[in-house]
Amino acid sequence: MTRLNKNSLASLAKGTVVPGYDRSKVTPGIVHLGIGAFHRAHMAVYVDDLLARDPSWGIVGASLRRPDTKEALEPQDGLYTIAVRDAEGTHPRVIGSILSVMDANTEREELLALMADPAIRIVSLTVTEKGYCYAPATGELDQGHVDIVHDLAHPTTPKSAPGMLVEALARRKAAGVAPFTVMSCDNLPNNGETAKRIVTKFASLRDGALGEWVQQVAFPSTMVDRIVPSTTDADRAEVAGLIGAEDAWPIMTEPFTQWVIEDQFPSGRPAFETVGAQLVKDVEPFEHMKLRMLNGSHSTMAYTGYLGGYEYIAEVMGDPAYVKLVHGLMTEEAMPTLDMPGTDLGAYRDQLLDRFRNPALKHRTWQIAMDGSQKLPQRLLGTIRDRLKAGQGIERLALGVAAWMRYVTGVAEDGSEIDVRDPHALRMMATAADAGDNPEALFEGLVSLTEVFGTDLAGNAVFRKAVVGHLESLFDEGARATVKKVAG
């Protein structure tokens, strides 16, 4: 079978949507760090929609860790398929906005040179929570992080995202070139502010004058949303059948997509508002809504669902007790903490429940369960803090936290091993091993991870009682019975 690339583009199977602009006219205006599946299903699609109107915003993607995306997309001239799955079927569309992909490990110098080029006006990021090298509870740069230690010692050959951004900015400063705008598209609250705090801290640790200069860089916040399960071999085979060519890395996703962007781009930006993005003054309320409702539910379903023996989110949604739990978590516990005048939160919730139900999306609970230590603070703990302050109940949210604690012990209910993926996995599993099946000791050990829980929650009696109570039930009765009880 022929490979998807610029030569095969004209002969793809009927029904495949292809770029409606002349790719040879497109020039790079954006460097994107962290060219994973999410970016390719989200921002790259918005950019693909606007290149016909303005070809100066092509994307050069870079991966900081692994060369696999480059290896997949290079023979395809950067082209790949997004396959949108709904009840009617799978709809393939070839995206052309990614002009090339660089591997930061082997092409660091070329990548830094490009980032310093005046044509690049935006550097966007999807490096995941852990890519910020910060303490999730405080949002401060983790100066003891191994990559940060490395990058401060070797600032011109950085490995981390903050190190790359600051070295590129230093080169622009030296060349008298205005800074690019840094646009975080990661799932963090105040992602712009957070990126700014980390980048300016890192720059000032490198050199005071650079730290000052970096103050002028714009860091707009964004809220990003699209569910993107990992691609499987079965997905590859299906897409090949649909488009009539082999695509080494298609992306499977849902019809829904949302992007809310803080309008702060002194070096210019594409007309994102013409392709469905919302440009607003303050993104924070949108981020809270999304993180607390969508992601808070997702993480709760991931841990309780995995423990209960459910592989996919759509399966979890087939269990009425779980649906009741998530409905209650959103309605009773998350929604009252949000400040979204003019938004029908009930309708937003119902739309989320429908999205979770999408049977065509094979979204694994295990995938969402990854990196919990980086996700819990913004998804569950912030909501818990707000409610504790107001003297309100936290039963369902606390079950999410307890199920995470039970999950990171690394042992499933049937005694099999759980492949726990998390930057703190080893520490957490050692804590769990010490605690054995004593819920109190497990809580004690894990809540003392202050970079996750801060310093306030360990001593909060209401929080402790709720989480330890759920842990007891998870150990004694199992996840399904516990969900049923807590859902009411």
298: closest CA among 367, 346, 232, 348? 367
Q: 60 or 408: whose CB is closer to ligand CS2? A: 408
- Rounded to a whole number of angstroms, the minimum distance from the CB of residue 367 to ligand CS2 is 6
- Rounded to a whole number of angstroms, the minimum distance from the CB of residue 345 to ligand CS2 is 17
Q: Is residue 37 a contact partner of residue 230, using CB atoms and an 8 Å limit? A: yes
Q: 23 or 298: whose CB is closer to ligand CS2? A: 298
Q: 41 or 195: whose CB is closer to ligand CS2? A: 41
SS3 label, residue 320 = helix
- Rounded to a whole number of angstroms, the minimum distance from the CB of residue 392 to ligand CS2 is 24
The C-alpha atoms of residue 50 and residue 63 are separated, in whole angstroms, by 24
Q: Is the dihedral of CA 142, 145, 148, 154 positive or negative?
A: positive
| Interface residue list for ligand CS2 (CB under 6 A) | 187, 225-227, 294-295, 298, 367-368, 375
The C-alpha atoms of residue 34 and residue 434 are separated, in whole angstroms, by 36
127: closest CA among 26, 28, 224? 224
The C-alpha atoms of residue 452 and residue 482 are separated, in whole angstroms, by 25
- Rounded to a whole number of angstroms, the minimum distance from the CB of residue 369 to ligand CS2 is 8
- Rounded to a whole number of angstroms, the minimum distance from the CB of residue 3 to ligand CS2 is 29
- Rounded to a whole number of angstroms, the minimum distance from the CB of residue 457 to ligand CS2 is 21
Here the tokens at position 56 are 């100066």
457: closest CA among 375, 401, 392? 401
Q: Which residue is nearest to ligand CS2 (CB)?
A: 298
Q: Is residue 427 a contact partner of residue 421, using CB atoms and an 8 Å limit? A: no
Q: 186 or 247: whose CB is closer to ligand CS2? A: 186
- Rounded to a whole number of angstroms, the minimum distance from the CB of residue 22 to ligand CS2 is 32
DSSP conformation letters of 193-217: HHHHHHHHHHHHHH-HHHHHHHTT-
Q: 214 or 294: whose CB is closer to ligand CS2? A: 294
The C-alpha atoms of residue 344 and residue 331 are separated, in whole angstroms, by 12
The amino acid occupying position 242 is: L
Q: Is residue 379 a contact partner of residue 136, using CB atoms and an 8 Å limit? A: no
The amino acid occupying position 53 is: R
- Rounded to a whole number of angstroms, the minimum distance from the CB of residue 317 to ligand CS2 is 14
Q: 313 or 447: whose CB is closer to ligand CS2? A: 313
- Rounded to a whole number of angstroms, the minimum distance from the CB of residue 355 to ligand CS2 is 9
- Rounded to a whole number of angstroms, the minimum distance from the CB of residue 391 to ligand CS2 is 29
User: Given strand 222-225, what is the order of strands in its sheet?
Assistant: 222-225, 258-262, 278-280
- Rounded to a whole number of angstroms, the minimum distance from the CB of residue 254 to ligand CS2 is 9
By DSSP bridging, strand 222-225 and strand 258-262 are antiparallel
User: Given strand 251-253, what is the order of strands in its sheet?
Assistant: 89-95, 80-86, 251-253
Q: 98 or 188: whose CB is closer to ligand CS2? A: 188
- Rounded to a whole number of angstroms, the minimum distance from the CB of residue 190 to ligand CS2 is 16
Q: Is residue 270 a contact partner of residue 367, using CB atoms and an 8 Å limit? A: no
Widest Cα–Cα separation across the chain: 65
By DSSP bridging, strand 258-262 and strand 89-95 are unpaired
Q: How many CB atoms lie within 10 A of CB 53?
A: 12
Q: Is residue 92 a contact partner of residue 81, using CB atoms and an 8 Å limit? A: yes
Q: 40 or 298: whose CB is closer to ligand CS2? A: 298
Q: 294 or 326: whose CB is closer to ligand CS2? A: 294
The C-alpha atoms of residue 299 and residue 28 are separated, in whole angstroms, by 36
Q: 125 or 214: whose CB is closer to ligand CS2? A: 125
Q: 374 or 473: whose CB is closer to ligand CS2? A: 374
Q: 16 or 187: whose CB is closer to ligand CS2? A: 187
- Rounded to a whole number of angstroms, the minimum distance from the CB of residue 422 to ligand CS2 is 12
Q: Is the dihedral of CA 244, 250, 256, 257 positive or negative?
A: negative
The phi and psi torsions of 2 (rounded to 5 degrees) equal -70, 155
Q: 179 or 372: whose CB is closer to ligand CS2? A: 372
Distances (CA, A) of 196 to 140, 143, 173, 183, 203: 10, 15, 17, 10, 10
